[in-house]
């Protein structure tokens, strides 16, 4: 068993040597509009316990929006969370994208199909996310695109580092952009880290759902959603020295009975297949990584402290929805418009009880505020675990 632990040492060296100071990390997964759930969880914690101090904040996909908002807010964490909740409560589809009408999309596709030199689908995504870029600059006080509050918080000692993850399309690599902790770097065949001054463009790249949203150019390369190639969502926090990790997932933790209950009857519509793929790519990996960390923690605890060298367990707590957020989105299908409504019909969304793909793009206030409430109640129901985690 000792030999097994030693083979993991190169990967988990950042699991903190005994001499390193305690560091609490917040890890926020993706899920598109589902990320409003994370705001509700954080609201309860900031109201009833405390989120201070958060040494490291990491985010991927839509979780990068929440992570950057918290890291960029200059002031106490409770005010930062209140601002985050306010943004999700008031967010509208018009703040995120400007979809074309169904008619213009159909005409464009017909025109493209008649031109053998053109691709059938627009290369720059099905919707224009320019409104989201402007919205993020406004609510984060980043008119020039720079998230200057992150540097301020690092300089004050209120934050150690913030990390956002994107996927470099040209190479297929997972790239973690880090501001803070300049001594921490890593490079693997398919994942690397880069020290940067975080900007709104990094958020846009990390949260750019493939095909639906356009790729974003950062530096000399084009990037898309960070969840595409991120195999180990907890890894950035581990590399940055976390001794405790609070991870907030947007993936419903169904039991064995619910998992065996079909959500479609007969041949599955494309919406169901698309939803399964999205969950596998963007949401399932956090659960897999968390399960792996739990097993490694158990292995380490079976090793005498004198033989652990620079390894020790990382305290991990994962908060996940108690309700299927995909099923909740089904009540709002009629609110879609333009090309997204066309896609919904084309995929057969009405024929599945859990249109997971829809839950990722449904930026309707009625839906997002409902997710905030679910997150708040889920955190309330896990008060004892959260109190223990934060030593409250």
Beta-ladder partners of 315: 244
Among 33-42, 264-273, 366-375, whose mean pLDDT is lowest?
A: 264-273
Over residues 15-38, mean pLDDT: 81
Closest C-alpha to 233, from 67, 49, 36, 2: 67
What pLDDT, on the 0 to 100 scale, is given for residue 373? 97
What pLDDT, on the 0 to 100 scale, is given for residue 262? 72
pLDDT-based confidence at 14, cuts 50/70/90?
very low
For a pLDDT cut of 90, what percent of the chain falls above it? 54
Q: Encode pLDDT of 338-349 as tens digits.
A: 666 666 666 666
Q: Helix/strand/coil (H, E, C) string of 46-98?
A: HHHCCCCCCCEEEEECHHHHHHHHHHHCCCCHHHHHHHHHHHHHHCCHHHHCE
Q: Has residue 123 got a pLDDT over 70? A: no
Backbone angles phi, psi at 366, to 5 degrees: -60, -35
Q: Has residue 256 got a pLDDT over 80? A: no
Query: Distance between CA 382 and CA 384 in Å, rounded?
Result: 6
What pLDDT, on the 0 to 100 scale, is given for residue 392? 64
Closest C-alpha to 59, from 172, 136, 3, 156: 136
What pLDDT, on the 0 to 100 scale, is given for residue 4? 47
Give strand ranges (E) for the chain: 24-28, 56-60, 98-99, 127-128, 161-168, 174-180, 191-195, 216-218, 221-225, 244-248, 315-319
Q: Encode pLDDT of 274-333 as tens digits.
A: 777 777 777 788 988 999 999 999 988 888 887 887 787 899 999 999 998 888 887 776
Q: Helix/strand/coil (H, E, C) string of 256-290?
A: HHHHCCCCCCCCCCHHHHHHHHHHHHHHHHHHHHH
CB 142 within 8 A of CB 148: yes
Closest C-alpha to 29, from 51, 62, 57: 62
Q: Encode pLDDT of 49-108 as tens digits.
A: 988 778 999 999 999 999 999 999 998 899 999 999 999 999 998 999 886 644 455 555
Comparison of pLDDT for 115 and 309, the residue scoring more = 309
Query: What is the H or E stretch that residue 152 is in?
Result: helix 148-156
Mean pLDDT score of the chain? 84
Over residues 157-168, mean pLDDT: 96
Q: Has residue 174 got a pLDDT over 50? A: yes
Other Cβ atoms within 10 Å of 183 Cβ, number: 6
Over its C-alpha atoms, the chain yields an Rg (Å, rounded) of 21
Q: Has residue 2 got a pLDDT over 60? A: no
């Amino acid at each position: 068993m000792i030999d097994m632990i030693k083979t993991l040492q190169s990967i988990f060296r950042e699991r903190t040597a005994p001499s390193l100071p305690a560091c609490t990390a917040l890890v926020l997964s993706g899920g598109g509009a589902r990320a409003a759930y994370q705001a509700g969880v954080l609201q309860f914690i900031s109201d009833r316990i405390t989120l201070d101090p958060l040494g490291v904040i990491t985010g991927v996909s839509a979780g990068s929006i929440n992570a950057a908002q918290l890291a960029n807010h200059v002031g106490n964490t409770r005010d930062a969370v209140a601002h985050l909740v306010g943004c999700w409560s008031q967010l509208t589809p018009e703040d995120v994208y400007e979809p074309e009408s169904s008619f213009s999309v159909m005409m464009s596709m017909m025109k493209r199909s008649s031109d053998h030199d053109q691709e059938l689908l627009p290369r720059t995504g099905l919707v224009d996310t320019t409104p989201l870029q402007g919205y993020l600059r406004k609510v984060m006080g980043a008119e020039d695109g720079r998230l200057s509050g992150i540097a301020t918080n690092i300089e004050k000692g209120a934050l150690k580092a913030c990390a956002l993850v994107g996927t470099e399309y040209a190479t297929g690599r997972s790239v973690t952009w880090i501001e803070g902790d300049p001594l921490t770097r890593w490079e693997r065949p398919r994942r690397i880290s880069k020290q940067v001054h975080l900007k709104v463009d990094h958020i846009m790249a990390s949260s750019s759902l493939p095909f639906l949203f356009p790729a974003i150019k950062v530096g000399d390369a084009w990037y898309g959603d960070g969840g595409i190639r991120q195999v180990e969502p907890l890894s950035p926090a581990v590399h940055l020295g976390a001794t405790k990790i609070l991870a907030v997932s947007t993936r419903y933790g169904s039991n064995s009975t619910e998992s065996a209950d079909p959500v479609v009857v007969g041949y599955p519509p494309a919406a169901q297949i698309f939803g399964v793929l999205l969950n596998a790519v963007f949401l399932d990996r956090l659960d897999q990584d968390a399960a792996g960390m739990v097993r490694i923690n158990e292995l380490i605890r079976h090793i005498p402290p004198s033989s652990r060298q620079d390894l020790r367990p990382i305290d991990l707590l994962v908060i996940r929805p108690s309700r299927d957020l995909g099923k909740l989105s089904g009540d709002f299908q009629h609110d879609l418009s333009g090309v997204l409504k066309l896609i919904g019909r084309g995929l057969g969304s009405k024929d599945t009880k859990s249109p997971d793909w829809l839950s990722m793009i449904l930026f309707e206030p009625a839906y997002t505020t409902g997710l905030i409430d679910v997150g708040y109640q889920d955190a309330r129901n896990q008060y004892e675990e959260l109190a223990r985690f934060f030593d409250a």
